[in-house]
Chains A and B, each alone.
Chain A
């Protein structure tokens, strides 16, 4: 069970890691719950152990509670994703939006006694940019960070970056004590200014992380607990067991199909949909598989799939059937596009015949365990119904990204995140340079629309976004099946407000029940 379940975990990890690029958002100012109840131990469940606890190597998404426990970030996010003051109390851009000036608090010290200053903040920003966090590239536009004075930080950009403030509210803005920068044990002995301090003695790296309250914390109202424990669950079964045994207060779920058991134990499950599951037809020009170069073949594939059955069969119905890769509510989203390709095997066969494949063809795809087993089986089933023979090559999950992103296959089944803006989504999977446009195929229409989105007025951009979505759906580069639900369970003693753009709720929004 462990491999498969840990694969499931890894799958969820993939999903949520992907989800982490979903960020940014409007400048709303809705406050967070910020309750002042306090005391006791909060035991959280997590499905990943962080690769490092050092600020410059930390990541967000599922890794966020580890970062938030120890570190303060320059800014903070509200549950809807909007940015709020935190260590930086005020900030402003210049007109060109390439120089960000931030005013920092002067009453913050790290837990080793070192005071927090603008100079320290500048070092942290640059270290993150140059470090090996999975998100290091988020700060790639940062040209330099300097301290104007002790409380004024100036960040200069090579180009405007609408996501920067969000990144600075996440791992990219995490502030570590300079004394810990080059410590030998930096990865396992974090020193920040945050609400909690790692209890190294009781922590088992990789499995259980124990934090105790930082007695000198500058914002004691935000410390809701005396102690914070994060347990890593590697299998769905242990997770459900721990929930049924009342051993966790709140946790995200590896497999939310155990909902009835979890709710039966008195827990509440809240869900968000941050990813879609479905086929990515990388080989848009037919380099590996000529058939995929024909749009009719791709459309035939889209018609061959019974999405409703797949949602039921592969996800137990927990999700929403979709036909587009853009997030609901984004300017590109168009509910009508979800029905562009209905389940119609006859139409699929006709399209194949039209394209010159009346007897179908063979499609090579990777098979890896990301918790979508039934979807793999069912996909092969539906495609074979219309004459397409799927040949799966089993690859180890550990090497799946490398192989899939390395262009070894013309198509794959995958989880992909739905980022909050059209621009970001396009940068992940549509634009020529994007990671999931594996063969980096150019497309003039796409390039033109993206340019409008980047530089045009708000209205122009929105129109271009919608047009882009229509074009992408028509091209059938993706065959999305459904948006998968991510579940988060919390016990009766714990209140949780989910984060709209993150797989894990932010720490300040997990509070003792009123």
Chain B
């Protein structure tokens, strides 16, 4: 088990290094006049050139990469070109915000999706039809429209929560909850739909399996069969999808943070990518990759716990 974890972590490090190198040179290739972008059209050409020199952009790509990599190895990922903030500070500070959203959405997704999926699979009939209908809607309606609608209705018209911004848990737990409520809902809809469909599908598949009949023949109650056995067996595929959805949620956070003006990593991802803030983009990319590697590891360990067949020594 320990060996398995270590091997996966090592593979993760390789993956992250690969992504970092790839991202660095791709972004470098975009080139452009960074100094001009930072300073705008009014700055003089001399000032722009000076800015570029200050950022080390006059050096060749390899030497820039060497500078960056030697710092990165020591945990210094440089400074944002556009705000001068240390990348580590910028990323860690904002990651906490985004994780509030994404973990909240994951929990909400898991709970609601299992309830909906089980209902649809067990009840069939109109319940199933209704869940399917909702799923199709949830899948088809772009998430950003939902988010905007939520803001207009609940924040503006009903004035129940604040329409923008983020309150830290440490500052006010209730404020925190109210600031992430709508974003989490907006974020979750698509993933709830996806996971609920998977839960329904694998529930139905599992319900058809022979051992379910055998379990019933043993005199186990429907509840025990469904929740004790079928759901546990159906959970594996659903967990895989949930894992994939987590990455999707990180992506969704990009839009949602923008719509709710939440200072998370998604907001940074957009502004840094659009602006070409290479050090910050690299920081975001690496942080995301680390997160995903850890997540996949956790999913695999959970899968092993759920299904002894895939458990590894």
Contacts and interface: CB of A to CB of B under 8 A. Distances in A.
Q: Please determine if A and B sit in direct contact within the complex, based on CB atoms under 8 angstroms apart.
A: yes
Interface of A: 1-3, 6, 13-14, 17-18, 20-21, 49-54, 57, 59, 132-137, 140, 185-188, 202, 204-208, 231, 233-235, 237-238, 241-242, 244-245, 247, 397-399, 401-402, 405, 435
A247 B141 CA distance: 29
A207 B82 CA distance: 12
Main secondary structure, interface of A, reads: loop
Interface string B78-104: 011011111001100110010000000
B230 to A, nearest CB: 43
B301 interface: no
Interface of B: 32-33, 35-44, 46-47, 50-51, 54, 79-80, 82-86, 89-90, 93-94, 97, 144, 148, 151, 155-156, 159, 162-165, 171, 254-255, 258-261, 263, 267-268, 270-271, 274-276
A234 B37 contact: no
A132 B50 contact: yes
Contacts of A206: 80, 82-83, 85, 90, 263, 267-268, 271
Given A2-B258, A17-B40, A136-B43, A204 B263 contact: yes
A13 B258 CA distance: 18
Contacts of A140: 44
A13 B79 CA distance: 23
Contact of A134 (B47, B82, B151, B171): B47
Nearest to B168: A202
7 contacts: A1-B259, A134-B47, A135-B43, A241-B164, A401-B40, A405-B36, A435-B41
A242 B42 contact: no
A235 B259 contact: yes
A397 B165 CA distance: 26
Contacts of A135: 42-43
A187 B163 contact: no
Contact of B84 (A51, A137, A401): A51
Contacts, number: 163
A402 B94 contact: no
Contacts of B89: 188, 205
B51 A132 contact: yes
Contacts of A247: 162-165
Specify the main secondary structure of chain B where it touches its partner.
helix
| Interface hub of A51, A187, A242 (most chain B Cβ within 10 A) | A51
Contacts of A205: 80, 83, 85, 89-90, 93
Given A132-B50, A137-B46, 19 more contacts: A2-B254, A17-B40, A21-B42, A49-B83, A50-B83, A51-B38, A133-B43, A134-B39, A135-B43, A136-B47, A137-B43, A137-B44, A188-B86, A205-B93, A241-B151, A242-B164, A244-B163, A245-B163, A401-B40
Contacts of A241: 151, 155-156, 163-164, 261
A241 B270 CA distance: 20
Given A1-B258, A3-B274, A244-B156, A18 B42 contact: yes
Contacts of B51: 132
Contacts of B39: 51, 59, 132-134
A486 to B, nearest CB: 16
B87 to A, nearest CB: 11
B50 A242 contact: no
A402 to B, nearest CB: 4
Contacts of A49: 82-83
B261 A398 contact: no
Contacts of B268: 206
Most buried by B among A187, A398, A399: A398
Nearest first, the 7 closest Cβ-Cβ pairs linking A and B are A187-B84, A207-B263, A137-B44, A241-B163, A2-B258, A245-B163, A238-B261
Contacts of B261: 207, 231, 233-235, 238, 241-242
B259 A238 contact: yes
A242 B79 contact: no
B109 to A, nearest CB: 23
A231 B262 CA distance: 10
A260 to B, nearest CB: 14
Nearest to B272: A206
Contacts of B43: 133-137
Contacts of A132: 35, 39, 47, 50-51, 54
